[in-house]
Amino acid sequence: MKQIKVFAPATVANVTCGYDVLGFAVENPGDEIVARLIDEPKVIIKKITGDGGKLPIEAEKNTAGVSVINYLKHIKSKQGIELEIHKKMPLGSGLGSSASSSVGSVFATNLLFGNLLSKRELLQFTMEAERVACGSAHADNVAPSLFGGLVLIRNYDPIDVIKIKTPKLFATVIHPEIIVKTEDARNILNKNVPLEKVVKQCGNLAGLITGMFTENYELISRSLVDEIIEPQRAKLIPNFYNVKEVAIENGALGCGISGSGPSIFALSKDEKTAEIVGEKMKKEFAKIKIENDVFVSEINNEGVKVI
Amino acid sequence: MKQIKVFAPATVANVTCGYDVLGFAVENPGDEIVARLIDEPKVIIKKITGDGGKLPIEAEKNTAGVSVINYLKHIKSKQGIELEIHKKMPLGSGLGSSASSSVGSVFATNLLFGNLLSKRELLQFTMEAERVACGSAHADNVAPSLFGGLVLIRNYDPIDVIKIKTPKLFATVIHPEIIVKTEDARNILNKNVPLEKVVKQCGNLAGLITGMFTENYELISRSLVDEIIEPQRAKLIPNFYNVKEVAIENGALGCGISGSGPSIFALSKDEKTAEIVGEKMKKEFAKIKIENDVFVSEINNEGVKVI
């Protein structure tokens, strides 16, 4: 039986001033997905590990299944796909777990069909899968998981996704074991933003992009500020500001909420700093007895890949 | 008597999605300022031409005088400055007329004093002059007039001004002879912005900056969109949307309100297109019998300079 195994990286969306427009991929954690060609024209999820029994095994309810179902429809396939999903990352953590699964499965499937479509063409199927997972076809996790690197979602209609060049950057991601529902994190946001805050956010966002292209770490650091979303969502994560403070104090360029939380990310210039930052963040959560996992890796620049 | 003559370029602020954070300088129009060292420690405006008698001759009420007064205080000068201001650009037009004057005068003065301060250090004096002209120490006209090019005002406290690399770009600027008071243009703006519009604006701004660094004209063009301010201010400029439409139809990459209006700018890839765009825009204003002036030039990359 023809099969392919891929790694689909976890992703950090809502990168401080880049709310809903920026996301990046990390080397660790991520999902491992195995896809096999089968003769019947259907999608079967044969096995899921690492999810603690929480994910649906029905293909049409699981993002990994949904992206493949839509792909097979699109290419009018007479064959089907059997999937194994090995979750190597926390669910509901703000690290784009559902996105990694849908990206991994459709990327593997496309390879089994002889690489019929480009990554850009696969994007639509993963976005549709996001609609199943979170109610809207967001691209800010699926696009970085697919393409790697720091990705700008400039527009949705039509979709316009642009990879942003970055200098060497290391991400520290900490996942505290608390529950923040995406729905709550959305509902908590004011529907309107004071104009002066918009201007500040725009200044920082333009500064962040400029810092990336000019490899100016000081500018990146000054710009990694969220004037709009973080002040509203920080209250959903106990000790958030202390965790952020120790990250910055210990050399991180910046720190913010990953996705809609509860994970928190920091960016650093080098691996050693990223590791120290992780240890210090861990201690802050330990102080209030919240279990947590820390992941340190370079920004993943390749996106989903065969392993 | 020691004297210096400089050219200070006009500027386009609020560059579509870059409201309050982006501005650029043009080669034409601009102000010509003559500064002379005098022995008494004061600032005298000896002559103003091209203003139709509208600008105050009192140094402390004229931005050209204010920036120099503050400069002389700063360097504890025992000498003074005599200024001639030759306005070669329309006043109150949304082209940063007051900014060009204050930049030109203080730049010339600094050279007379042996180039004591850097352009970055001069910025503060020109910002203070803006406070006299428009009530707040805005940098989005003075900074591009000083440094040239496309300039990002990332932050005010502390001031953080960054020059953005651009590919070759030609500006068409049309000034219709109507009055739009800066105050009215400000008061018309809603104090709050719907979050989904903020996200769209952020996507375009990040796209615009990325387009500049990657010299991707198509991306620049797609990103030159203002979802927030233009829809509110367009009504202050008769025929605005028709003028914009002909600019785009005739090859401009994008088009928007310059500063708080009434001038309108367009950006094009080459000079020929920028000229055609100017002619077509002119016709649209002629249709409704509004007198106008058109200026076509490359983006000024040097800023204020000795002539």
Q: Per the structure block, which two tokens stand in for A126?
A: 């993963």
CA distance B21 to chain A (A): 6
Q: Which pLDDT score is estimated for A184?
A: 86
Radius of gyration (C-alpha) of chain B in whole angstroms: 19
Q: Which pLDDT score is estimated for B161?
A: 98
Three-state secondary structure readout of B160-204:
EEEEECCCCCEEEEEEECCCCCHHHHHHCCCCEEEHHHHHHHHHH
Do both B267 and B134 map to the same domain? no
Chain A residues touching residue B204 (CB < 8 angstroms): 154-155
Q: Tokens 């400089």: give the residue.
A: B6
Residues 6+ apart with CB under 8 A from A161: A120, A123, A139, A143, A147, A151, A152, A153, A154
Question: How many structural domains compose chain A?
Answer: 2
Chain B residues touching residue A199 (CB < 8 angstroms): 19-21
Contact B207 A162 (CB under 8 A): yes
What is the share, in percent, of chain B residues with pLDDT greater than 90? 93
Do both B187 and B49 map to the same domain? no
More reliable by pLDDT, B173 or A182: B173
Inter-CA distances, A34 with A127, A153, B211, Å: 20, 28, 38
Q: Which pLDDT score is estimated for B184?
A: 86
Question: CA quadruple B237, B243, B245, B248: dihedral positive or negative?
Answer: negative
Residue ranges of the alpha helices (H) in A35-181?
63-74, 97-112, 119-134, 142-147
Contact A160 B228 (CB under 8 A): no
Q: Which pLDDT score is estimated for B40?
A: 93
Chain A residues touching residue B209 (CB < 8 angstroms): 206, 209-210, 213
Residue ranges of the alpha helices (H) in chain B?
63-74, 97-112, 119-134, 142-147, 182-187, 195-213, 217-223, 230-233, 240-249, 271-287
Instruction: Categorise residue B300: left if φ over 0, alpha if ψ from -120 to 50, beta otherwise.
Output: beta
Amino acid at position A228, single letter: I
* B111: containing domain: 3-164+302-306
Do both B9 and B150 map to the same domain? yes
Do both A17 and A146 map to the same domain? yes
Determine the distance from the C-alpha atom of residue A296 to the mean position of all C-alpha atoms in its chain, rounded to a whole number.
15
Task: Grade residue B96 by pLDDT with cuts at 50, 70 and 90.
Answer: very high
Q: What is the average per-residue pLDDT within B276-289?
A: 97
Q: What interhelical angle do A63-74 and A119-134 show, nearest 10?
A: 130
CATH code: domain of residue B282: 3.30.70.890
Determine the distance from the C-alpha atom of residue B276 to the mean position of all C-alpha atoms in its chain, rounded to a whole number.
23
Do both A120 and A188 map to the same domain? no
CA distance A225 to chain B (A): 11
DSSP character for B141? T
Q: Which pLDDT score is estimated for B259?
A: 95
Residue of A nearest to B223 (CA): A154
CA distance B99 to B34: 16
Contact A192 B189 (CB under 8 A): no
Residues 6+ apart with CB under 8 A from B128: B66, B67, B70, B137
Contact B209 A204 (CB under 8 A): no
Q: Per the structure block, which two tokens stand in for B190?
A: 């809603």
Do both B205 and B287 map to the same domain? yes
Residue of A nearest to B14 (CA): A199
Q: Which of B17, B19, B21, B22 to mutate to test the interface with A (most CBs of A within 10 A)?
A: B21
Do both A17 and A152 map to the same domain? yes
Contact B202 A199 (CB under 8 A): no
∠ CA B183-B185-B191, rounded to 5° = 95
Size of interface A-B (CB pairs under 8 A): 131
Inter-CA distances, A50 with A16, A31, A45, B226, Å: 29, 10, 14, 45
Amino acid at position B226, single letter: D
CA distance A89 to A173: 11
User: For the CA atoms of A275, A277, A280, A286, what is the dihedral angle to 10 degrees?
Assistant: -80
Contact A203 B19 (CB under 8 A): no
- φ/ψ (deg, to 5) at A164: -100, 130
Chain B residues touching residue A19 (CB < 8 angstroms): 198-199, 202
Q: Which pLDDT score is estimated for A124?
A: 97
Per-residue pLDDT of chain A (307 residues; tens, 9 = 90+): 689 999 999 999 999 999 999 999 999 999 999 999 999 999 999 999 999 999 999 999 999 999 999 999 999 999 999 999 999 999 989 999 999 999 999 999 999 999 999 999 999 999 999 998 878 899 999 999 999 999 999 999 999 999 999 999 999 999 999 988 878 888 999 999 999 999 999 999 999 999 999 999 999 999 999 999 999 999 999 999 999 999 999 999 999 999 999 999 999 999 999 999 999 999 999 999 999 999 999 999 999 999 9
Residue ranges of the alpha helices (H) in A225-270?
230-233, 240-249
Q: Which of B136, B138, B162, B218 to mutate to test the interface with A (most CBs of A within 10 A)?
A: B162
Do both B21 and B150 map to the same domain? yes
Do both A14 and A159 map to the same domain? yes
Contact A160 B191 (CB under 8 A): no
Residue of B nearest to A159 (CA): B203
Do both A26 and A135 map to the same domain? yes
Do both A35 and A151 map to the same domain? yes
Task: Grade residue B281 by pLDDT with cuts at 50, 70 and 90.
Answer: very high
CA distance B120 to B100: 16
Do both B158 and B196 map to the same domain? no
Q: Which pLDDT score is estimated for A219?
A: 98
CATH code: domain of residue A92: 3.30.230.10
| Closest C-alpha among B3, B32, B1 to residue B109 | B3
Q: Among the options B27, B32, B128, B130, which is catalytic?
A: B130
